[in-house]
Amino acid sequence: MSNLGMGVMIGLLGGNEESVKAFKTAIGKRISSLKLDEDALHFTFEDGSKLKLFDDGQTCCEHRYMTSDDDLQSFVGSELVSAEIRDAPAPPPDECGECHEVEFLVVSTSKGRFTVETHNEHNGYYGGFLVRAYAE
């Protein structure tokens, strides 16, 4: 990761207790719906509860979004086991100095794992990731 943006630094100072609590509450629940919107991974569980995983490090001039090449629908009906963040190779800045950082969010379920890529496109003065969990 290159430079940390102000949004990421402030977020890191604030701690992540609420995210940890939200995620731990969802562990072991059976997934009834799973979708990836441009900016977040949304879980709905059989008990009606919901969980959202998203990158909360947004600062001024960044574009953050999530993508996945995996078939998320094949994990519906499985139980949520864990999730982890993994570094991804950083491509060099383009000819205009624009940066595109990527981080992997690997989610484990009772049916296996899927990977979501978290993207942050910026002008080089921002950077980093702050993936959070939010119980909806």
Domain enclosing residue 39, as ranges: 6-135
Q: Does residue 50 form part of some domain?
A: yes
Please tell me the predicted confidence (pLDDT) of residue 15.
Answer: 62
Please tell me the predicted confidence (pLDDT) of residue 129.
Answer: 78
* Overall average pLDDT of the 115-134 stretch: 82
Nearest to 93 by CA among 115, 120, 116, 61: 120
Most confident of 57-61, 102-106, 124-128: 102-106
> Rounded to an integer, what distance in angstroms lies between the CA atom of residue 110 and that of residue 10?
35
Q: Does residue 91 form part of some domain?
A: yes
| Total domain count, the chain | 1
pTM: 0.83
Strands (E), 38-79: 40-45, 50-55, 63-67
Q: Does residue 66 form part of some domain?
A: yes
Please tell me the predicted confidence (pLDDT) of residue 132.
Answer: 86
Q: Does residue 1 form part of some domain?
A: no
The predicted-structure confidence for 3-20, as pLDDT tens digits, reads as follows: 554 444 544 555 678 888
Q: What element of type H or E holds 13?
A: helix 6-13
Q: Helix, strand, or coil here: 123?
A: coil
> Rounded to an integer, what distance in angstroms lies between the CA atom of residue 136 and that of residue 14?
20
Please tell me the predicted confidence (pLDDT) of residue 1.
Answer: 43
Q: Helix, strand, or coil here: 52?
A: strand
What tokens does 135 get? 């119980």
The predicted-structure confidence for 31-88, as pLDDT tens digits, reads as follows: 999 999 878 999 999 999 999 999 876 667 778 899 999 999 999 999 999 999 898 8
